[in-house]
Amino acid sequence: MSYTITQENFSNITSYRNNPDNNLKWSVPFILPAWLEVWWQELSTEIEPSLNVIRKDEKIIGIAPLQVNNDVASFIGSTDVCDYLDFVVVPGMEENIFNVLLDDLKEKGITKLDLKSLRPDSTVLTYLVNIAHIRGYKVSCHKEDVSVLMDLAPSWEDYLMALPKKQRHEVKRKLRRLFEAGKVEYHTIQDKITANKTMEIFLQMFTESRQDKAEFLTSQRESFFRSLVDTMADIGLLRFGVLEIDTQPLAMVIYFDYNDCIYLYNSGYELKYNSLSVGLLCKVLCIKDNIQKNKKIFDFLKGDEIYKYRLGGKEINLSNCQIEIK
């Protein structure tokens, strides 16, 4: 029995993801090869990529998508556009993967792992941290942010009943006012051609609905979002949720449908229709639509905006961890 690590390219990593025989667990969309390659092309600096593929004999058991800056290794990706980051593993092989990886990093002169955007169930927090402690490495983990998500109820009526009474009445009241304003339609878009056309309207809504979003959308991030929409549409994960009144789009959400979990990535709305709560209600109708499609989890993603809690979300902590390799 032997273990090896090879540094490979995005094309190879994509082929491994597309091969079900590898049994690799890609836990969230933000670590898929397609996502990471778009990030690398649009947002990376001149830091060196290090796509490490770990094998046991000839069988792939893990992938460590890292970037290296001097003697520090971190995940490919960034906290501003990648809500969760992690390693890719074959479940049950974590201890082997991380011991081999740490040995390899030490041999290459890497003295520190700086890992961010970690969910509580990440392989870093559930396996790597303990392995590093056992090896006598210094480990420092801190709360970085929060994320908000919820299990989806089996029906729309069950979802409403699970909300606190005040919030349930507020949702119903706002929906009533919306439907009194005209012919309301909520629909989803996922094909690439229509998504590209929709993106133009979305970006206008995104920047006009909130000042902080306008400041966030630099030309570089806009290029990233456009490339991401193309790429995620190509692999079938992209969704636009569109709220219209009398055929006019008034609010939109971008989300990713992955492993029966809905990842609500971003949103925008027509500011002049704010009195109808179109931004909030587009999200409400997105929840309703995905309950009806039997999805299991609705993830509002990073940030503690109050609407997420009012719509039923529960908070989890996101962490960053630094591991000193010696």
Where would I find the beta strands (DSSP E) of 201-287? 238-245, 248-258, 261-269
Question: Which residues lie below 8 Å from residue 59, measured CB to CB, with a gap of 6+?
Answer: none
Distance CA 124, CA 266 (A): 26
Check residue 319 and give its pLDDT: 98
Check residue 137 and give its pLDDT: 97
Chain centroid to Cα 1, Å, comes to 36
Check residue 255 and give its pLDDT: 98
Q: Mean pLDDT by 10-residue block, N- to C-terminus, for the chain (326 residues)? A: 93 95 96 97 85 96 96 95 98 97 97 98 98 97 98 98 97 97 97 93 88 86 95 97 97 98 96 95 98 98 97 98 96
Distance CA 297, CA 261 (A): 5
Closest residue by Cα to residue 42 from 85, 80, 6, 15? 80
Contact present, 59 and 100 (Cβ < 8 Å): no
Closest residue by Cα to residue 243 from 311, 320, 175? 175
Closest residue by Cα to residue 253 from 228, 284, 219? 284
* CA torsion, ordered 227, 232, 233, 238, to nearest 10 deg: -120
Structure tokens belonging to residue 262: 């809905």
Structure tokens belonging to residue 31: 């670590």
Contact present, 80 and 73 (Cβ < 8 Å): no
pLDDT (tens digit per residue) in 185-223: 999 999 999 999 999 999 999 988 778 887 888 899 999
Closest residue by Cα to residue 303 from 114, 123, 117? 117
* CA torsion, ordered 174, 179, 182, 184, to nearest 10 deg: 110
For 3, 52, 195, 230, 238, the CA distances from 191, given in Å and listed in that order, are 42, 33, 6, 9, 8
Burial class of residue 307 in the structure, from the number of CB atoms within 10 Å of its CB (0-12 exposed, 13-18 middle, 19+ buried): middle
Note the maximum CA span of the chain. 69
Closest residue by Cα to residue 232 from 274, 279, 270, 199? 199
* CA torsion, ordered 147, 152, 153, 156, to nearest 10 deg: 100
Cut 0.85: pTM above it: yes
Distance CA 66, CA 77 (A): 9
DSSP 96-127: HHHHHHHHHHHHTT--EEEEEEE-TTSHIIII
What structural domains does the chain harbor? 3-146+317-324 (3.40.630.30), 153-295 (3.40.630)
pLDDT (tens digit per residue) in 36-93: 999 999 998 878 789 999 999 999 999 999 999 999 999 999 999 999 999 999 999 9
Structure tokens belonging to residue 44: 């990376």
Check residue 249 and give its pLDDT: 96
Q: Is 35 left (phi over 0), alpha (psi -120 to 50) or beta?
A: alpha
Question: What one-character DSSP code corresponds to residue 230?
Answer: H
